[in-house]
Amino acid sequence: MDIPFIDLKTQYLRLQSEISSGIDKVFEHGQFIMGPEVFELERRLAAFAGVNRAVTCSSGTDALLMTLMALNVGRGDAVFTSPFTFFATAEVISLLGATPVFVDIDSRTFNIDPSQLEKKIDLVKKENNLKPACVIPVDLFGLPADYDNIKSVTEGHGLFVLEDAAQSFGAEYKGRKAGSLGRAAALSFFPAKPLGCYGDGGAVLTDDEDLADEMVSIRVHGQGDDKYSNSRIGLNARFDTIQAAALLPKLGIFPDELN
Residue 107's CATH number: 3.40.640.10
Cβ contact 184:204 at 8 Å: yes
Q: In what order do the strands lie in the sheet with 160-164?
A: 53-57, 202-206, 184-188, 160-164, 131-136, 77-81, 99-102
Q: Is the pLDDT of residue 228 over 90?
A: no
Q: Is the pLDDT of residue 95 over 90?
A: yes
> 76 is in which domain, residue-wise?
41-253
Helix axes 147-157, 114-127, angle to 10 degrees: 20
What is the tens place of the pLDDT at every residue in 102-123?
999 999 999 999 999 999 999 9
- Would you call 51 helix, strand, or coil by DSSP? coil
Cα–Cα distances (Å) from 182 to 138, 150, 179, in that order, read: 11, 10, 7
Residue 106 lies in a domain: yes
The answer to pTM > 0.85 is yes
What is the tens place of the pLDDT at every residue in 196-224?
999 999 999 999 999 999 999 999 999 99
For residues 225 and 235, give the distance between their C-alpha atoms in angstroms, rounded to a whole number.
16
Q: Which of 194, 135, 185, 140 is nearest to 163 (CA)?
A: 185
Residue 104 lies in a domain: yes
- Structural domains in the chain (count): 1
Q: Which of 22, 26, 44 is nearest to 35 (CA)?
A: 26
How does the average pLDDT of the chain come out, rounded?
A: 96
Amino acid sitting at position 68 = L
According to the model, what pLDDT value does residue 5 have? Answer: 76
